[in-house]
Structure 1
Amino acid sequence: MKYFQPYSVEEAIEIAHASESTFLAGGTDLVLHMRTGKAQPSGLIDLGKISVLREIKEVDGFIEIGSMATFAELGNSELVAQNAYALWQACQSMGSPQIRNQATLGGNLGNCSPAADGLPPLLALGAEVHLISQEGEEFVPLSTLLSRTPLLGQNTLIRGFRIPITGWQSGFSKLGRRRALAIARLSVAVAVEINGTRVENVRVALGAVGRRAFLSESLGRELSGLELNGAWLEKGVLEVQQIVREALGARASAPYKRTAVSGVFREALASIITEGGTQA
């Protein structure tokens, strides 16, 4: 197997075009797939030496996150904690310390597991994905990208992510068999814009209830423009249960997840509102 270690994004794109090799980010998923035979790349392009892909910074009203930023680095970032709290929370509960030190946000998207911890927060926060290939570069809303099949074009590099700094409050919670070390069996991320006693806008994203994480636009519409109170919270619980019911259909896990999502939804909102429906 061929192995490449470029020192710039441009070099990585050139190698990918010439060799048809696979980009290697953190490798926590790809290496396992290679061992089991699920993935058999002809070559690997290790992105670990491209320093710009590890940057986490504020630029023109956005948080810009390089695709090689690890969950540990994101979890230690004050910029992320202050402006993308749901993502910060997801980083605290993702895997073991060893995994968080290795796993990257770009790798999380590239592998695109239904249970990927980073994707629901990014969806709720309105993130865009910065993609680069020999054809050029583009910023694509993550919600749009996740609807594509295949997810990425051939030899396309995930350059990074761009999250708007909106002042919205957000939260994340997941259900796993062993908390932080567990792969999520169900996850919910919520971002809300609160004006006085009203919830002006809501974005709710779910993971591990479909082929990929997704943003429920219908749920967001149902919960936006209402008074923030206990009735709003209970309406949200009923609505999110219905979303899970529709997403899972007759799958064996459906009855359990329909019930469990109510608690996960409440926990995702715990940093934003109290159980009674007032601001935390």
Structure 2
Amino acid sequence: MLWVGGKRLYGKVEQVGSTYVATTFAFLQFLPLFPVRSHIVVAEGAADTHTVVPIKMHWKSVATGYLRAYGIAATLFTFIPGLVMAGTSKVPTAYVGAGLVLACAGLTTAAFSRIGRLSREEKAQRLLYARFLGHPVHPSILDEDMRGAVAQKLRDFLEERAAAVMTGSNYRKGGPVKAGYRVLALEPSMRDREYLEAAFTLACIDASLSVGPMRADAERVHGALWNKLLAEHPDVIDVVRDAEAVQRSWVSNVLGFVPLVAALGVCCVMLLRNDAVFKWRPSGAEKKAEYGFVPEELLR
């Protein structure tokens, strides 16, 4: 028997354009054994060519890697026994066999089609983060030192930018920078797009670095700034179109549902063919009872 092992990427999640998060696993027979490290993966023009940026362990990617690989294996191992149970066993064993196949196929389908996918709004937000982080990812996946360094640069930028765009008396240069950007960005008179995008990113970083009430306040500001960006600059959501053009086509998205649809169709056919579940034709005993008596006058 040929044994195949080594290290490779599993658990591709949170893709925006050609950038996504994945985890390197040690594997055996193409089944992941244990995670080694997560990465930001930036695919390049040539096929199978990419650049990786190490990050802290991304547990959603880890769980997705296990679920996709072992979900396929479980579906293959249960497919034939499950269909045999559905097609030949009596109730409720037949339903148990069909349910086993559908459960494995459903988990595999969810792992490929749902888990780790971003909504259109989430992609637009990550593309805004990319202007300051360098990659379209959520700031929370970066280590604390990197987030702290980016946050300090953003605070310096916001202080300088505010001095240039604000003419009212509500801004006091040299005041509390943290409180200043949160209050200033939400003022109706502040419409500068670059300032709002930087404040939006900084609020997300502050939320990831804070706990308790400070975290809740940063998340509140983050949500309010996103709503303001959508109101003041509606085209902020349109930047997703170019990223989606680089991503998988709709054909690939539909293919993710093939395991569940195929399993559902085959299980239905096997159940319909099972006389113990659906009695489409009379059994031998029923035929005998129906035709076993012949009136005496017909025998004369």
**TM-score, length of structure 2 as denominator length:** 0.22
Larger radius of gyration: 2
Q: Which structure shows the higher helix fraction? A: 2
- Relative contact order, CA 8 A, sep 6+: which one is greater? 2
